[in-house]
């Protein structure tokens, strides 16, 4: 019988071999700014080119500690009232930014034919927890208010993000369920999220070395973020998940975070949430913006966004 738990796609194996041959130091071995430059350099090499869109515009909104940079994407110059995707990038709360996630935001926008607002929240270590969740919640409430600067009437929010951004997606959704914004969260899309203590799971033991995201880098990000481990805005599985909106969640089969995502999906299903759970076998953490380095990741992204479209059609 094949070991599906450790199945590795051919293009994923080739990408991992390339990284091994490059022998770059881990992010935990570098000054923070060099780690950020390294993620940006890998993105240039391994991510697919951006889509052409009618609107790509830098904006900002008021935040708890100054303006929060945002980027608006839209396939149309003008559109009727409708939902908006609030995209929250990954990068361990430390090394991601708007530009690294630019291409995937154009892809999300093009495939869903919905406006996307990408949030450049404050990063650790300069701004540790709870700066990131504070900024994401503020940005979500600003978008929900349909401000003139956005130029679009908003009927609902779709928080979406990967890894650390998947964590912040859930945290932001929980905040807006506890204290509603001007429009509802109609669904949320956490992508290989950090939902609780990942070190307790078998996937952490299996895949924390040699599969792109390492245990050492996760420990570094956790140290920089400096969150209270008992705070549900750090580990949202600890919070109240009783009124979670429809959720599309995906994990990667070779990801040390995989079982945390599985646990979150099971937890909110047990509390009555409408959940679509996708696990992409044979691939690694970070695949949504490694689509040139791992060509099969494009089909994974299309499957994920297809599930979002199906969810939105069912709830319309």
Strands annotated E in the chain? 55-63, 66-74, 82-88, 116-119, 154-162, 189-191, 247-252, 275-280
What is the edge-to-edge ordering of all strands in the sheet holding 189-191?
A: 55-63, 66-74, 116-119, 82-88, 154-162, 189-191, 247-252, 275-280
**Contact, 88 vs 160, CB < 8 A?**
yes
- The active-site residue, picked from 255, 259, 260, 300, is 255
For residue 80, CA distances in Å to 76, 155, 246 come to 10, 10, 23
66-74 vs 116-119, strand pairing mode: antiparallel
- The active-site residue, picked from 103, 118, 163, 203, is 163
Give, in degrees to the nearest 5, the angle at Cα 166 between 96 and 157: 105
For residue 37, CA distances in Å to 32, 91, 138, 164, 300 come to 9, 12, 27, 18, 27
Active site residue 285: yes
154-162 vs 82-88, strand pairing mode: parallel
Burial classification of residue 203, based on how many CB atoms lie within 10 Å of its CB (0-12 exposed, 13-18 middle, 19 or more buried): buried
Active site residue 255: yes
Residues 6+ apart with CB under 8 A from 1: none
- The active-site residue, picked from 74, 118, 134, 285, is 285
Q: Which residues pair with 118 in a beta bridge?
A: 71, 87
Give, in degrees to the nearest 5, the angle at Cα 303 between 298 and 309: 125
Classify the C-alpha dihedral 163-196-308-240 as positive or negative.
negative
Residues with a known catalytic role: 163, 255, 285
């Amino acid at each position: 019988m094949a070991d599906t738990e450790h199945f590795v796609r051919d293009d994923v194996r080739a990408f991992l071999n390339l990284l091994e041959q490059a022998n770059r130091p881990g992010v935990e071995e570098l000054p923070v700014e060099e780690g950020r430059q390294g993620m940006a350099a890998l993105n240039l090499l391994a991510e697919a080119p951006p889509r052409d869109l009618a609107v790509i515009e830098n904006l900002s909104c008021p935040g708890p500690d100054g303006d929060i940079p945002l980027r608006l994407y839209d396939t149309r110059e003008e559109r009727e009232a409708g939902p908006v995707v609030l995209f929250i990038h990954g990068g361990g709360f430390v090394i991601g930014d708007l530009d690294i996630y630019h291409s995937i935001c154009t892809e999300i926008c093009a495939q869903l034919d919905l406006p996307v607002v990408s949030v450049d929240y404050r990063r650790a270590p300069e701004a540790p927890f709870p700066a990131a969740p504070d900024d994401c919640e503020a940005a979500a409430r600003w978008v929900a208010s349909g401000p003139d600067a956005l130029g679009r009437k908003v009927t609902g929010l779709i928080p979406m993000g990967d890894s650390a951004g998947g964590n912040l997606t859930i945290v932001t959704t929980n905040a807006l369920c506890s204290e509603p914004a001007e429009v509802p969260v109609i669904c949320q899309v956490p992508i290989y999220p950090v939902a609780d203590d990942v070190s307790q799971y078998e996937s952490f033991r299996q895949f924390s070395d040699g599969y792109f995201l390492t245990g050492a880098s996760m420990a570094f990000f956790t140290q920089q973020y400096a969150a209270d481990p008992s705070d549900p805005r750090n580990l949202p599985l600890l919070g109240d998940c009783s009124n979670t909106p429809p959720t599309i969640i995906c994990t990667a089969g070779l990801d040390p975070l995989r079982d945390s995502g599985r646990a979150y999906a099971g937890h909110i299903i047990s509390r009555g949430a409408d959940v679509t759970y996708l696990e992409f076998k044979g691939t690694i953490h970070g695949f949504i913006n490694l689509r040139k380095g791992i060509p099969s990741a494009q089909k994974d992204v299309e499957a994920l966004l297809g599930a979002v479209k199906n969810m939105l059609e069912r709830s319309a």
